[in-house]
Structure 1
């Protein structure tokens, strides 16, 4: 029989749960468990139990990224273009996980599963982190052809502009490169040796060209190219491809201007600029401005228009 008793210790009441049984015909206490003070008992009854262990999961950025990609219909967009058998996670889901990882805490493909498990994503996407191995990513990425990459880029850029009403009147362009640890004997042609920005000329590099909106710096157009291509060569190629693929998008925007630096200057690029429907603003090296360099600074005036504030 169970019961509750109170015992006074140094003038303070403490409570115990006891169980009594008859032993040899006489009642005996066979079990006695300390419950604490009356306040302790009330708290244990009315409040939920405290967890024995706590694991935190990254939530904020992952949830924000999922909100954006859901609005863009990113996964469906990829899966509609890239064909895959009904086998595990889709290509779109793999690409979404890779993109979230790149935005949040970039890791190698072999570490994505570990990162993924530290976020709230498994609860939302219902993908087992153990399945996110580097081999699974390579298998799914191999399913995407270069033509499909271009198709997805065009569709996604147009969707971003439409949904978020991106102002295309001014676009900012720049190109860079980054070194890799791809072995010299690897037959892939994209990584090449060239003039590396980080001075690692001993390693093969890959070029990346990017064009973003002035407002918000939203990336809209990109190109990944061989590491030994010069900036002027890539600029000419990207501008021609942009005009070809996004002509309808540009036609809806009056006076679209592309801003770039002097690293893209060449006679061929000047001809490309002159014959294109776009406007361009680019810098020149001092050697091209010898006469202007002789003008004293006191003869210059600030531009008065609000959009040209702080410009001379």
Structure 2
């Protein structure tokens, strides 16, 4: 039974909504809710408190989906198990850092925490004001490289891999570390063993580029293989084959320079076949054999309609820019306003035309000997331009010793490196700022950051694989962007005598966002 009860305190009457029930045969109050003073109730009835006095928007969808995946993998408990007892705080901060890197790497830890709905459902909840970059680095300052490797090994063991075959990839542009925009930068690369399905990082090792003692890619593969036993296929880019033993080493899939195989480039388009219209629309391939590195090997010449269009646009822009510069220089010479010597002009002309593919179709001739007599003529060879479009644009040449793999699997293996590179660039941005003004990027901090980035990449690539299996063909960037559009709005209403009332609601969702909402179980984290 519910009733309104008034209590008189210091000459004022305050009202409560009281619910009573019989307990052991006697009436007893079981709940009580404060309603306010008489004037508060009157204002509410008049509609004065019907509208919120302020709102606040929090990021929800991407944070909740990543946290849901971290919980499902039991990342925090796994880190505790890898580090031993009394390391719960380190495990909490590392898990929180992975969540931050995946969903808010462009902001500091403290700023991200205030703008996200994570505080509402992340458990155990960190102490108020303790979520900051400074505290993270203080807590993790004594982690050793063997401990970091044990953490990564333990987390990767939690990932379900239907296909035990793995890929070894090298990402030379993993991250650029700097204390500020103008400071000298430290360039770092990352070698990793990833899953064949989804390019999910399993074990990795960062290295400083250009420093002493940088181990070749082949050596890195051997060391990583010791941490992740099993059959591995090495994926290499153009020029990396010199670091590998292709005759007696592991299986491989790599890229070759197009210009080294002119006979393949001139094969007609009719010789290519569609690879897999479902997985790779617009991609065709010629599957054949050629002499590569002194042996007959399987090569796959692919042509992508999307890549062809992108390269054609980029080339047209580069050619237009070079032509404008040459025309401007020619006009200046004809007007007599450019009095530079011939040698200097030849250097400038070479610089202008020394752009990829531009020097194949654009020629320039400088006549005369003395400054006042110099004249410039330029010419675009349309035949060479048509040949370039036909023979080079949209094409890529791959080599492999997997004679039994379908072409689609060869393509997927090679593209794993680009998926990783794209994700790392998204997570790290143009450069990674120093943790605090007084700190620099030491080797230890780079190792910790590399682990956090690798784990964040593993989680987001796992999410992308799950979305793909659900019929959503999205890149990691597109996936997180769709999830981030599911926001949480906090409505703050005027007080009716007690604390201000708040209400939390989620923003509207389209069909794709609703599918992701259901896929990652976000209803469990909704307000």
TM-score range relative to shorter protein: 0.5 to 0.7
Q: Does 1:54 align with 2:55?
A: yes
Equivalence map 1:285-300=2 (5 Å): 285-286=257-258, 289=260, 292=263, 296-298=266-268
Q: Structure 2, unaligned stretches of length 5 or more?
A: 1-37, 287-527
Structure number with the bigger relative contact order (C-alpha 8 A, sep ≥ 6) is: 2
Return the alpha-carbon distance in structure 1 between the equivalents of residues 275 and 187 of structure 2: 43
2:66 corresponds to = 65
Alignment TM-score, normalising by the size of structure 1: 0.63
Question: Structure 1 residue 33: deviation in Å?
Answer: 10
2:188 corresponds to = 206
2:11 corresponds to = none
2:241 corresponds to = 265
Is the 1:62–1:121 Cα contact (8 Å) retained in structure 2? Answer: yes
Question: Structure 1 residue 77: deviation in Å?
Answer: 1.2
Looking at secondary structure, tell me which structure has more strand per residue. Answer: 2
1:280 corresponds to = 252
Alignment TM-score, normalising by the size of structure 2: 0.39
Return the alpha-carbon distance in structure 2 between the equivalents of residues 279 and 297 of structure 1: 28
Q: Structure 1, unaligned stretches of length 5 or more?
A: 1-30, 184-199
1:171 corresponds to = 167
Return the alpha-carbon distance in structure 2 between the equivalents of residues 34 and 201 of structure 1: 61
Question: Structure 1 residue 144: deviation in Å?
Answer: 1.8
Return the alpha-carbon distance in structure 2 between the equivalents of residues 104 and 43 of structure 1: 40
Tell me the SS of whatever aligns to 1:208: strand
Assess, with a 3 A threshold, how the Cα gap between structure 1 residues 275 and 139 changes in structure 2: closer, same or farther.
Answer: farther
What root-mean-square deviation, in Å, do the aligned CA atoms of Structure 1 and Structure 2 show?
3.8
Assess, with a 3 A threshold, how the Cα gap between structure 1 residues 33 and 43 changes in structure 2: closer, same or farther.
Answer: closer
Q: Does 1:224 align with 2:206?
A: yes
Question: Structure 1 residue 112: deviation in Å?
Answer: 0.7
Return the alpha-carbon distance in structure 1 between the equivalents of residues 236 and 164 of structure 2: 15
Equivalence map 1:190-205=2 (5 Å): 202-205=184-187
Q: Does 1:92 align with 2:68?
A: no
Return the alpha-carbon distance in structure 2 between the equivalents of residues 107 and 35 of structure 1: 48
Return the alpha-carbon distance in structure 1 between the equivalents of residues 101 and 41 of structure 2: 53
Number of equivalent positions: 241
1:242 corresponds to = 224
1:137 corresponds to = 136
Assess, with a 3 A threshold, how the Cα gap between structure 1 residues 290 and 63 changes in structure 2: closer, same or farther.
Answer: closer
Assess, with a 3 A threshold, how the Cα gap between structure 1 residues 90 and 42 changes in structure 2: closer, same or farther.
Answer: same
2:391 corresponds to = none
Return the alpha-carbon distance in structure 2 between the equivalents of residues 122 and 41 of structure 1: 34
Is the 2:66–2:99 Cα contact (8 Å) retained in structure 1? Answer: yes
Return the alpha-carbon distance in structure 1 between the equivalents of residues 228 and 195 of structure 2: 15
